Structure 1
Amino acid sequence: MNKNNPDITDDLREEYDLTSLRVRKLGRNRRSFAGHTVRLDPDVAEMFPDADAVNEALRFLIRVTQQNQPPKL
């Protein structure tokens, strides 16, 4: 039965347990369950087809930056 409309009956089977179901919010304030969410500017997002491409580019940048650091005294 629906709270808003008591005439609607629930057709969901009893064996389905939805108590542990996680629901993702849509929009800017949604949470990511896998980690951090980073919003790319549109011009940057055009260059990367997926998250793997972004990670690969960032890892490359990290390696180049670390290799070009002056030796620590």
Structure 2
Amino acid sequence: MKNTQDTEQELLPEYNFDYSKAKINRFAPKKSPITVTLDADIAEVFKDSEAVNRALRAILSVLPNSRPYVG
């Protein structure tokens, strides 16, 4: 007869989980930020994400058909 502690510590080589009954995480944020990778030469100019956002907002403010930033 096996010890109950030994059977609790055994791992199966594969587990099949049934995700058909999974529910959406209601605590997850509704809208996640977009991640953008900058080229090395551009990243040298912008030290943080706020600097990039300021530059992009400045560009958007002079475009004729851009929507105003609401933040």
Regarding TM over 0.5, the answer is: no
Structure with larger RCO (C-alpha < 8 A, sep 6+): 2
Name the larger-Rg structure: 2
> For the superposition of Structure 1 and Structure 2, which TM-score range results when normalised by the shorter chain?
0.3 to 0.5
- Normalization by structure 2: what TM-score? 0.45
Name the one with the larger helix percent.
Answer: 2
- Normalization by structure 1: what TM-score? 0.43
